[in-house]
Structure 1
Amino acid sequence: MTDSDSDLSDFTDDDLFSTGNIFARRELLRVGHVPERARIVGRDDEMQRVGKALGPATQGGPPRNLIIYGKTGTGKSLVSRHVSRRARDRAEENGVRFVSVYIDCSDADTETRVARRMALGVRDEVDPSLHIPTSGLGASEYYHYLWNLLEAVDVFVVILDEIDKLRDDEVLMQLSRAEESGKTDCYVGVISISNKIEYRERLNERVNSSLQDSEFVFHPYDAAQLKDILENRRDAFQADVLEDSVIPKTAALAAREHGDARKAIEIIYEAGALAEGQGDARVTESHLEDAQREAEVNRFQELVAGSTPHVKYLLRSLAILTQSRPTKDMFSTHDIYQRYKQQAEAEGSEPITQDRVYRLLKEQTFLGVTESHHTGGGRGQGSYLEHRLMRDPEIVLDALDG
């Protein structure tokens, strides 16, 4: 037996599978967790509006279609799923067969994928023993399964989250005209969720006419609401584990930066995970600051994940310039280009032209990574463009090194 085998044999199951003394109910901090009503904060009006749209369906009538807008983490998905579940329960009390299916269109981004998810979702509720192939079929075959299954259903509601990621409008056309075209006698409703307020303008006239929907906006949470949301999930942690200042500070940080409840919950979870990993007995502001920094690095990595190497050389160059000149945060395209050339050559890459770098900087401004301004120019100088980084340069460098 090797030394490593001997070491392993010394572990009891309690040692091997120990989860520490920080968390009590981790599921309360999971992304996608739909909590009970008492834990949903600051969204009473929005719940009422979704409830009114689904109210007729609980009595066997047609639901109203909705389009819900709002930034990420404003409760759009949570409220839609929660109210749909309550509508299903109320419908059941009234003897109405109500089925809802939630689909994330950032994953199911084609008509075939959405049709498959709908067919499988209804199958799981109506006839779990029915075999539906998960590959090898087109959208029309999955619709055929769906319409047949809906013969046993009174009301069908589909929640299409991030619907702007769908590649075409055919899904909405099929759903909005299902009853009119005689494909089903079941009442069909659609709740469309988008981060893009201009989404409705992209729909063609036929779909717009068929949907006859209502639309409204979820606004970002403020600091007080975020604090209440986190307080309502305090029991995700063991008693007395959270330092008193952790929840207020998390709420204040999230409100200042984005008003995103999802990110606030993620950050406080990561702070707990850091404390757990370090073997600490309490979650402190220090853990929170480290978690916040790690989250910022991760977000920036996601933002530049698909960027070309030259974009990354360019951002690294601007971050290094910003670090090296603490009294200056705006830099001309020429200064950035000179530093970029050094970076590209150090990486063994042929630098692109200054004109191309100028266009890349404008693209980064559009993405919110940089900010650009025209200077007035001095005596003998024309106007030129200056740029500054919209992120902490250390965050940018850590993300690009990750």
Structure 2
Amino acid sequence: MAIEIKAPQFPESVADGTIAAWLKQPGEACTRDELLAEVETDKVTLEILAPADGVIVEIIKGEDDTVLSEELIARFEAGAAAAPAVEEAPEAVPAAAAAGDVKVSPAARKMIEENNLDAATITATGKGGLITKEDVMAAVKAPAAAPAAKPAPAPAKVAVDVASGDRVEKRVPMTRMRARIAERLLEASQGTAMLTTFNEVDMGPVMELRNKYKDLFEKKNNGTRLGFMSFFVKAATEALKRFPAVNASIDGKDIVYHGYQDVGIAVSTEKGLVVPVLRDTDYMGLADIESGIRDFGLRARDGKLGIEEMTGGTFTITNGGVFGSLMSTPIINPPQAAILGMHKIQERAMVVDGQVVVRPMMYLALSYDHRLIDGKDSVQFLVAIKELLEDPARILLEL
């Protein structure tokens, strides 16, 4: 039975995608739900699975081709047997490698580029001679595990390069996700009247509360750890309720005030920054928030986040402190009106009740669209978050 293989249905916010890789070729046997291809969009990489046992008859859209939502990309024959030529595929792999035509998964390709490896020298263990991420990791570790067969030429080459003063450059195409991130950053900086206001918060009360209850919290919530991010999400949610303009967005000449709080959490991945969204944070407890953020982080690392999880959002929080940032000016995530930047907790000398004491302090930054949010509202919004964090009982009591 002939089946049409189509690109996934993209949401309205995604115009098109690119075929990142075909993991099966015409004539190769496929089992139901086996990975056939990967489609890279502006936000995520989507997988295309085999609809049944059979073979791909024809590939219509090749690698690096642009595809639209639900566009025909291949034809599949359900129940068909693999072509006889497939039997010789294992022997053909070395020849293909020698010719430079090596099948590499997207994750493996990125690791090969980062480690300056030659794909033809990597042993492929994937189906149909595909080089997987694990194959590349094994190749990276191989020199440390066993000496190279010819160690002498490598030092000689390095010596020649240094003596001749050669300066090596590497040019690689920008991924769709990185290109889209660049476009959105430019849109935010050029299309909004962005301004940033700063404040600082004493993290002592939150740290004391966390240290006192973290073991009990983890035990009660099936291993979910109590972190700092949940306190910031709850404090931001309460502040958004008090200052609706910060939770609003501009649509043409209209201001859209959202009667709910969907908070995006910026997550760093190998391919770039993504912002999955926690929905209705006003109704979430600390454990729900921590569990949701941890789930986002794990799936973002594995490339398993869906497009629907990264669309929408009325406010964003980004934490540069995990990388050691002491202060920064985060860029708004359009069409949102504001973004909160967290930073590194650092002990500093502070004056408290006339006495100089050492306190764990964090700088907070709120970047906002001045077309929608006045300076007074932005400052008061940030002060509200500061007050809630310095007296965390107010978060629970909604005071």
Please indicate, yes or no, whether the TM-score normalized by the shorter chain is above 0.5: no
Q: As a proportion of its length, which structure holds more helix?
A: 1
Q: Give the structure-1-normalised TM-score.
A: 0.27
Q: As a proportion of its length, which structure holds more strand?
A: 2
Say which structure, 1 or 2, has more relative contact order (CA 8 Å, 6+ apart). Answer: 1
